[in-house]
Amino acid sequence: MRQRVRKLIGTVLMLVLVVVWALGAMALAQGRVTDLPWGWQTVSYVLLGTLWVIPAGLLIRWMEKPDRRS
């Protein structure tokens, strides 16, 4: 697959990832996290806010792979 096509697919997937992650994190934060003590709430919010970087980084790495030379 050419890098140009990977970047197009990756961009769409990145947008889907961010929207789905944000909605899931909000639902989880409103439902379960509010019942926790303040220390665990802080840890939960930090994790929910930063863990999306891992799949996004893997997706960016895939998007940036160079084309194979024929």
pLDDT tens, the chain, 70 aa long? 899 999 999 999 999 999 999 999 999 989 888 899 999 999 999 999 999 999 999 999 999 999 887 6
pLDDT at 4: 94
d(CA 67, CA 53): 25
pTM of the predicted protein model: 0.83
Type of residue found at 67 = D
Q: What is the pLDDT of residue 51?
A: 95
Helices 3-31/53-63 angle, 10° precision: 170
